[in-house]
């Protein structure tokens, strides 16, 4: 970075440090200070072409991102949001209406962009590759595998693969808020690109621990655009795409396998929902309620000095005492199942 000296015509950098967000170190974003004491955020992209496309997207909707100073090869320079702070997960879900309106504006700004056909092919290929990986690894019961493949085929024939300008990863570390001006900004500029319509909604719903943000998102979107696509069947298709992608990635790379049981439960919940009617609820809610009940019972039993015996049905899914948060007590005979 120091050897490259981006923006050397206007700035001489005397301080460069990576930006850490919520414990995760971003390898492509840096806080930089020049010899005049001015502070900026410098983002390094993999290629100059990617930096050029991000610059084009950001300039189409400047109110959603930090002010862009300029681009130099694969580097982008942004103003530091000194009056903004990171938000909590609860605050993020409270911003669902703002996010819906922002995504509607983003969709409108992305009209006319080329590359939609290639993006649609890439998403379709990746989804079917993920379904094949699940079938090959046999991580789901055959009836569940057949049901999700049947629903995927129905959804694909009905909706196709609509592509829009979308945000990739909506979580609390990527949204900043200025309390005095009530100004919200999305700070992960590298997450913007052509994706399947509603990809940002699927990532938002993954954070739905405290409340259901779907209705707020729909209201915000409807204020600026046609929200008719936000319907239970299409939301189910989005959630199925997202869950299959995450499970297939873990199976392929054998990473973070401890999260696999919960994500397989999400796929089962989708397969067991009636007529694609999720009732505007994220399937993980049902999984979370069941796990919470078992965890509470496990905690009471462990506090009394007993070990928890996991039901055989859950053992078949690969769940263990660790999956339910059980901390074994003293070694005593098991006195019943939960």
pLDDT at 334 over 50: no
CB contact set of 25 (below 8 Å; sequence gap of 6+): 18
Please name every residue paired with 18 in a beta bridge, in sequence order, or none if there are none.
30
- Reported as a pLDDT band with limits 50, 70 and 90, residue 75 is very high
* Span of 3-7, 102-106, 197-201 with lowest mean pLDDT: 3-7
pLDDT score of 323: 42
pLDDT score of 238: 92
pLDDT score of 247: 92
Which CATH number does the domain 85-282 belong to among 3.90.1200.10, 3.40.50.920, 3.90.1150.10, 3.30.1540.10? 3.90.1200.10
Contact 79, 66 (CB under 8 A): yes
9-68 per-position pLDDT tens digit: 888 888 888 876 543 433 488 888 988 888 999 999 989 999 999 999 899 888 899 999
CA dihedral (161, 165, 169, 172) positive or negative: negative
CA angle at 191 for the pair 185 and 193, rounded to the nearest 5°: 110
Average pLDDT over the chain reads 79
Average pLDDT over residues 163-188: 88
Average pLDDT over residues 276-304: 46
* Span of 111-115, 184-188, 290-294 with lowest mean pLDDT: 290-294
pLDDT at 282 over 80: no
Average pLDDT over residues 137-152: 92
Query: Residue 253 has which token pair?
Result: 């790379």
Residue 104: CA atoms inside 13 Å, Cβ hemisphere, count?
A: 20
pLDDT at 287 over 60: no
pLDDT score of 316: 52
Q: What is the residue extent of each domain of the chain?
A: 13-79, 85-282, 283-338
* Span of 105-109, 133-137, 333-337 with lowest mean pLDDT: 333-337
Query: At how many degrees (to 10) do helices 232-253 and 116-137 cross?
Result: 60
0.85 surpassed by pTM: no
Which H, E and C letters describe 127-193, residue by residue? HHHHHHHHHHHCCCCHHHHHHHHHHHHHHHHHHCCCEEEEECCCCHHHEEEECCCCEEEECCHHHEE
């Amino acid at each position: 970075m120091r050897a490259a000296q981006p923006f050397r015509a206007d700035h001489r950098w005397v301080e460069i440090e990576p930006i850490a967000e919520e414990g995760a170190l971003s390898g492509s974003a840096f806080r930089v200070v020049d010899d005049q004491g001015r502070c900026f955020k410098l983002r390094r992209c993999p290629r100059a072409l990617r930096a050029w496309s991000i610059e084009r997207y950001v300039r189409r909707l400047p109110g959603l991102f930090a002010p862009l100073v300029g681009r130099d090869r694969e580097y982008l320079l942004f103003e530091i949001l000194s009056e903004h702070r990171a938000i909590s997960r609860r605050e993020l879900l409270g911003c669902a209406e703002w996010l819906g309106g922002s995504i509607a504006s983003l969709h409108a700004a992305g009209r006319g962009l080329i590359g939609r056909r290639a993006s649609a092919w890439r998403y379709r290929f990746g989804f079917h590759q993920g379904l094949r990986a699940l079938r090959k690894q046999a991580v789901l019961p055959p009836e569940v595998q057949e049901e999700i493949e049947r629903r995927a085929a129905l959804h694909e024939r009905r909706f196709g693969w609509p592509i829009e300008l979308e945000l990739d990863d909506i979580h609390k570390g990527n949204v900043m808020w200025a309390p005095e001006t009530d100004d919200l900004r999305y700070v992960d500029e590298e997450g913007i690109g052509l994706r399947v319509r509603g990809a940002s909604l699927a990532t938002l719903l993954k954070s739905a621990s405290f409340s259901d943000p779907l209705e707020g998102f729909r209201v915000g979107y409807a204020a600026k655009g046609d929200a008719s696509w936000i319907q239970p069947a299409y939301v189910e298709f989005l959630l199925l795409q997202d869950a299959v992608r995450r499970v297939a990635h873990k199976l392929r790379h054998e990473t973070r396998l401890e999260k696999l049981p919960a994500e397989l439960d999400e796929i089962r919940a989708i397969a067991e929902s009636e007529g694609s009617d999720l009732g505007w609820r994220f399937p993980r809610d049902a999984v979370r309620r069941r796990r919470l009940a078992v965890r509470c019972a496990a905690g009471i039993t462990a506090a009394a000095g007993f070990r928890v015996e996991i039901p055989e049905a859950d053992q078949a899914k690969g769940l263990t005492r660790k999956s339910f948060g059980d901390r074994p007590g003293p070694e005593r005979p098991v006195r019943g199942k939960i």
